[in-house]
Chains A and B, each alone.
Chain A
Amino acid sequence: MNLSGYFILFTSMLLAVLLMIMPLPDGLAFIWPLWIVAVLGYWLYALPHRVSLGSALFFGILLDVFNNTLLGQHALALVTVAYIMEKMHHQIRLFFWWQQALLMMCLAAVYSFILFFVQSLLAEIHLSWPFWLPIISTGVIWPVVFALLRHYRQKFRIT
Chain B
Amino acid sequence: MTEKGFQVTVIGSDKILTCQKDEPLLVALARQGYLKVPVGCRQGGCGVCKIRIVEGEFETGKMSVKHVSDAERKINYTLACKTFPKSDLAITTKI
Chains A and B come from one and the same complex: no
